[in-house]
Structure 1
Amino acid sequence: MRHHAATVLLAAGLLLTGCSKTDGKADAKPSPSKAVSKADAFLHAVRAANVKSWTKKGPTDDELLDYPQEWCDALDAGHSVKWLFTTVGDGGSLYPIGVDWGTYEADADAVLVMGVKAYCPRNLADVKEQLRATGEY
């Protein structure tokens, strides 16, 4: 009886193996890609850029992350880059500057581009065009 049960199990195993489409290799399954958040993409770009304005003192991540969505909202509302960075009068006052850190204009332009690229890439071409028109980018 043991021999008969072993034969049946062996036969069943061979049938299952014969029905599978593998040739001894594991089926390749696509690995799920990790989604990178907008904030992480922006901060990674800023860190990689080594912003010269911030070599002595720069913004914290939280301070810096206050800007990109506000830039995008203002751009979506039809405001210009010049308006974003105008800190007096009827400007957006969205120039990247804090109480104890500042940003050179060329660095601010570059950080703006990084923020727009991460948060609202639909505005990227227009932002770059505006910056190029001023000769600043």
Structure 2
Amino acid sequence: MRHTVTKTATVLLCTLTSLGLAGCGGGDGDAKADGKATVSTSPSPSSSEALAAQYLAESQPIPFTSHRPAIDELLALPPTWCGALKDGHSVEWMFSGTGGNLYPNGSDWGMVKEDAYRLLIVGVRVYCPDRLDTVTKELRETGEY
């Protein structure tokens, strides 16, 4: 199971690499007829692709209770968290079933609270770093961080 998750993450990162995000091998540019390489001047990758790759890589070691969710499920979490934080909501409200109902779980996967907070911190650090101090302060005050 762990091997499959790692392999999936590697494949994803290499796929994102083919879009120009990072290096998983291959050349640094195009070869000229004389055999010398030229540096490619292709546009930089979109920030959303770079953010997704960073978030997926940083969240990789965080365990889930049954199995790791699909990538699209994981990528849907940080924007909703950042939106709720921008609207002034607390972590307690976000993870409450009577509040935001934004706890990281799905129909067939979940997380223990400590790991859910770890995933939240990774998501906030990557997607809305201006809210990180607020989140870590709240978690410290409640003894969760």
TM-score (norm 2): 0.65
Specify every segment of 5 or more residues in structure 2 that has no aligned partner in the other structure, as ranges: 1-42
1:63 and 2:73 correspond: yes
Q: 1:1-137, aligned counterparts within 5 Å?
A: 37-47=50-60, 50-54=61-65, 56-88=66-98, 91-137=99-145
Q: How far has the Cα of 1:60 moved from its partner? A: 1.1
Amino acid at match of 1:53: F
Q: How far has the Cα of 1:67 moved from its partner? A: 0.6
Q: Spell out, residue by residue over 1:83-112, the C-alpha distance to the aligned partner (whole angstroms, 9 max, x if none).
A: 110112xx1011000000011000000000
Give the % identical residues.
45
> Who is 1:23 aligned against?
none
* SS of 1:66 mapped into structure 2: helix
More strand as a share of residues: 2
Q: Which moved more, 1:33-42 or 1:95-104?
A: 33-42
Q: How far has the Cα of 1:53 moved from its partner? A: 2.6
Q: How far has the Cα of 1:37 moved from its partner? A: 1.5
Which has the higher relative contact order, 1 or 2, with Cα contacts under 8 A spaced 6 or more apart?
Answer: 1
Amino acid at match of 2:52: A
Amino acid at match of 1:41: Q
Q: How far has the Cα of 1:33 moved from its partner? A: 8.2
> Who is 1:13 aligned against?
none
Higher-Rg member (1/2): 1
Runs of 4 or more, structure 1, over 4 Å off, are 32-36
> Matched residues in 2 for 1:69 and 1:105: separation?
20
Amino acid at match of 1:61: I
> Matched residues in 2 for 1:62 and 1:52: separation?
17
Specify every segment of 5 or more residues in structure 1 that has no aligned partner in the other structure, as ranges: 1-31
Q: How far has the Cα of 1:52 moved from its partner? A: 2.6
